[in-house]
Structure formats: structure tokens, C-alpha cells
Structure 1
Amino acid sequence: MLSTNTRKTIAAFVAGAFILAGIASPLVAQATSFSKERPAHHQRHHQVNPEQAAKRLAADFGLDEALIAKYQKEGKHFKDLRRAAFFAKVSDQSFESVLALKTDKNTWKEVATTLGIDKGKAKAVRQELAAKHIAEKFSINQGDIQTLFNQGYHHRDVAMAGLLAKQSGQAIDEIMAKKKVNNTWQDVGSELGIDLKALKKDMRKSWKNKNTKE
């Protein structure tokens, strides 16, 4: 089985870089499941580079980067901007109108209820974003990644297949076919001649350096 550290490393790649400016898949999943916000002292805090965050949101959701920057200067928290962008895309509403629904007296779960967010569409949007980021990270055709999602593969497995595809030069579907119920990704790596332990170490170092710079 994969070690805890390996799982954490893979998870860092899963939403394909929700991995930029502190954007991480658990936070998007949190918005998708409409869970209530945790008390501040239970939340993990990330150092978010405002410019990087604005660029990422603009690219992911087709928003005006200057508009995002304006809200940042007004003191809007990045998590609220991200959730507003996500809900706007899922509900086909404008980013500004969705953001206006969130006040100090309600939660994002209540906003989701007001918007009538469809969980099936939310899942589809999350997969679309994950496919886009994995494609960018590992230089793989986004359609091939989406196909694997449609076949029911988990984001973590698709991300791992993408990583090994990039390292080996093989197609991602060929890599995925090597993963069986009775083997591990370490086994697949060994079959491909890839030392996952060394790769894991390099990824952790790269991820740590990236976070430090941002």
C-alpha cells in the first residue's frame, strides 16, 4: 500500500493544481458538498499570493482578473471568491451576483440552497477543473483525462496515472490499464522502471519550494 506521505503527495497533484496559490481540491470538494464552514480555529491557513490567485481564478472560471483583484483589495477572502466562482459556474449565474448572496449572517451551504445547486452538475464542474489541471500539469490531452473520469476512475488514480504517463512517455490510458485491484501504484512504477520513492521525494521538495516562494 502507499505510505501516508505518498498519499499526501499524490493528493497534492489531484486536482491538478488546485495546487496554485493555495487552491487545493479538498476546498473545492468542500464547496461541492455544501458543507458548513468550520470555525476559524479549525481551518488550515494557506499563504495565498493575491496575483497568482487572481490569475488562477480568472483562467479556471473565465473571470476578469481585474474584477477579482478589486474584490481582494476590498478585503474579500480568497475562499469566498473561489466558492462564488465555483457556484456561479455550476448555477449559470454571474460571479458578482453569487458573491453578493454571501453575507456575515449566512453560510455557503445556505447560498447553495438559495441557488438550487445541482450536485450532479457540481461534480461535473469539479471533474472538468480537475481534468484541466491534470492536463496542464502533465502535458496530457484533457479529453483523455475526462474519459477516465467518465469511466469512473478516482481523481487520485487519474492524477497518479498522469504522473507516471509523463515520466514514462506512455499514454495515460495505457498506464491506467496497468493498475489492477491486486497491485499498487508502486508496483506499476516498478514495472515501468520508475522509482516512486525517489520521485515522491522530488515532488515533495518541489511542492515545498513552490509553497515557500508563493
Structure 2
Amino acid sequence: MNETSCWNQVGVAGDKSCDKLAPVVHCRNCDVYAGAAQRNLQRPVGDDYRAEWAALLRQPVAAGDASDTSALAFRIGREWLALPTAMVSQVAPQAPAHRLPHRGGNGLAGIVNVGGKLVPAISLAALLGIDERDAPARAGRHTFARLLVVDWENQSFALPVADLYGIVRYASAGLTPPAATINRGLERFLLGVASREDMHIGVLDASLIGHQMTRLLR
């Protein structure tokens, strides 16, 4: 019998009549099987095989995805914006904000109940100078207003948004400058603009936004 195929005939893949099978339990524990494996690995390599692999290894390495940052994109008015995903802790249904006595303006909309917890509500529209009424309908999408709950320096904030796109990945080095027509109140909070499909998403500077929201609570 050809020992290089005995496992297929009298071994575990055959009729299991091999005398060696009982003590070794499985063919892979047998010296015959191990010897066949060694001879297979040590067999001479053909010239065609060498040439094929040499040609494959000479090919240039394909450029990988340069995306190194992820953010959650949302819309306020007609502006698509994004904050780092690490900053966002929750997406919640829209809820009315209750105004605080003698407080308000400049972005502090009041407090809102999110899952039984009272969280200060911050209007990014007021903070960034965005007209919330300037919101064109977007064909082919269901639009739902939501609350983004973000965390900054151990404090949670609820940000009302008109629509949510989802998580986008982008190359931080590939951000482009904002358009010259963008309002100055928004521009100073932007790191740059990321393009996604037919959209231009303004990537917000998390540290500037976080610092400004914290100031509103003082």
C-alpha cells in the first residue's frame, strides 16, 4: 500500500482498519502521516511556481484606506456637521427643553430629560449662528429630529439636531478648507470639511465646542 495515502484507505478517512490507528487515535499523530507531510513540504519547487510568486511579490503594494478618524454626521438647518464618535455617548429621541430661570441665550436652551436624567440642552444653531429654518428637503430620506448626547470633561450635553446621517470616516490630513461663503461664527469652530457622496460635512473642533458648552453653564 502506498503510505502517502494510507490515511485515506485504512485510516480516519478510510475504513479505519489500520493497526496503528488504535494506539495513536488519529492519523495526524502517526509517524507515517508526519513523514508524508515533511516530504510534501520538502519537495522541489518548480520553475513555473518560482516565476509566478516572483511576479506576484514584485507588484507594488496597493494604497490602503487613508481614513484615520471617525465622526458622527448630523444636520442643523442646511449645514451638515460632525463631531468625533468618541465624544458622542447616545442618540436619543427629540424632547422639549425646559428653560432655566434667568438663564438662556447664547446657546443654552435649558434642560432636557434623557432617559430619566436631566441634561443641559445646547443649541448648536445659536452657538454657531446657523438658521434652523433654512432646511431644504432631502429626497429619498426619512428625516427625524434627534438629540445627540455628548460628553465633555465629565459633563453630558444634549444637542438637538434636525437629521442624522451616521458615522463617517475620513483622513484628517485630507480635510479641505470651508467655503468662503460660510458664516464666520461657524467657520471658527471648524477643523475643515470632509466630502461624503454629494455632501460636504463640516468637521467641528471638539475641544472648542466642548469649551464653549462648558462656559455656557457657568
Measured against the shorter chain, the TM-score band is under 0.3
Compute the TM-score of the two structures, normalised by the length of structure 1.
0.25
Q: Larger Cα Rg: Structure 1 or Structure 2?
A: 2
Compute the TM-score of the two structures, normalised by the length of structure 2.
0.24
